[in-house]
Amino acid sequence: MVTYTRRELLGMVGAAGAALGAGRKQPNILYMMTDDHASHAISAYGSRINHTPHIDRIAEGGVRFTNCFCTNSICTPSRAAILTGQYSHRNGVYTLNDRLDPNRNHVAKELQKAGYQTAMIGKWHLASDPTGFDYWNILPGQGVYYDPVFIEGGTKKQYQGYCTDLIGDFTLDWLKRRDPNKPFFVMSHHKAPHRPWQPAPKYADLFRDQTIPEPDNLYDHYEGRARSVADVKMRVGENMNRTDLKTDIPPGLKGDALRKWAYQLYIKDYLRCIQSVDDNVGRMLDYLETERLASDTIVIYTSDQGFFLGDHGWFDKRVMYEEALRMPFLMRYPAAIRPKSLNGDIALNIDFAPTFLDYAGAKPPAEMQGRSFRANVEGHTPKDWRKAMYYRYWMHNDGDHHVPAHYGIRTERWKLIYYYGRPLGMRGANPPDTQPEWELFDMRNDPREMKNLYSDPRHASVVRDLKAQLEKLQKEVGDTPA
């Protein structure tokens, strides 16, 4: 239960009233994004395993998306898609090894043109230096959790402290010294809760004496699934190292027993990292309130993709299964979005940029492939809104996680995935030892994606229809088949 202060409530009511009038001013945009934070570890999304009171404040005061999906579920490509509003095959950032061309247009450049001051703070991870930001202070590459180095406008400096808190500090510092006469767009990107899940010292003992509930498919043994899925090396315990677990695996421990033991170590550290994120989200919201900016500011909380929290026995992301595909997406803007609203439309990471430009009163450039969901969040979903989404993971068998390249389609009811197993000349490890394989899931009757229906003759017409839809969608977005 979230309670607003009197001042916050008055601010919201005032802004809602002002929204009815003409010429509303350009809203500020505070975009907070974490790295690998799955929505099922957010209490507003019904988490059974943790409580995130500050992230929940955004949901309480705004809209919660239940079907926001990532177009390529891995860090660097998703970040590029968010900035450019384009799929990987269009923006050229397919894998972790690709770099964002600094000359490429993106949302911050367009917002600058629209009169915004822009800042990028925290994890960037796009190999080139940021462009389109008046101020930037980023982690080199992945960055580290403890006493991290930051690169501020090109100058490296090491800081004492915990990465998540420092990113909070730097974001607040910038907000305090910004030009108050211009709207702001700040991207505050946390490293947490990315592997190796190292918590702040103050949370080292959180959950110590508790047993965190296990997901119902922690002991998935992949019967009936594609062979390449059964071979994925993202198994909790089995595919973790000493840095992940912070201790040695007891000799002789293996199979389901190893998974059970390692799950507790893994999930507790993951959730401890999130607790610091939640604290810092609270600091940002408090600042907006104290400065009377809450009503004029669009606040976003999201993550670059989802994550497997022991689901299917896995950690990590990449595979087009729900836990990795789904992004948490919470958006608060009291002037236009009703508190506690829900949106189930299929939204994509490439839609964020056009949406922000829409709110800024700027026209998204033609090369952006996403679509503004402003009308959707305001309760008026366009009749021709998409009914299916296209996904493609390109980083074929990186030699570590062993996830084959694949693409697929997700509709409200179905998901069809094609593991094509060929790297198409992309960089990364070769050579493919996987044969092309398909999976079909009934998302209504099997939301945990345990039963592959692809070879079931009763679903032959569904498969035929989905293949046709997939081919059409792939062509529409400008991609080519494997």
Binding positions for Ca ion, rule: CB under 5 A: 35-36, 75, 304
Instruction: Please report how close the Cβ of residue 423 comes to Ca ion at its closest, in angstroms.
Output: 21
User: Would you say 189 or 406 has its CB closer to Ca ion?
Assistant: 189
Contact assessment for residue 320 and residue 408, using Cβ atoms and an 8 Å cutoff: yes
Instruction: Please report how close the Cβ of residue 310 comes to Ca ion at its closest, in angstroms.
Output: 17
User: Would you say 307 or 418 has its CB closer to Ca ion?
Assistant: 307
Instruction: Please report how close the Cβ of residue 87 comes to Ca ion at its closest, in angstroms.
Output: 17
Instruction: Please report how close the Cβ of residue 330 comes to Ca ion at its closest, in angstroms.
Output: 17
User: Which residue has tokens 């309760």?
Assistant: 379
User: Would you say 225 or 406 has its CB closer to Ca ion?
Assistant: 406
Instruction: Please report how close the Cβ of residue 197 comes to Ca ion at its closest, in angstroms.
Output: 13
Instruction: Please report how close the Cβ of residue 75 comes to Ca ion at its closest, in angstroms.
Output: 4
User: Would you say 394 or 418 has its CB closer to Ca ion?
Assistant: 394
User: Would you say 142 or 469 has its CB closer to Ca ion?
Assistant: 142
User: Would you say 326 or 371 has its CB closer to Ca ion?
Assistant: 326
Tell me which residue has its CB nearest to Ca ion: 75
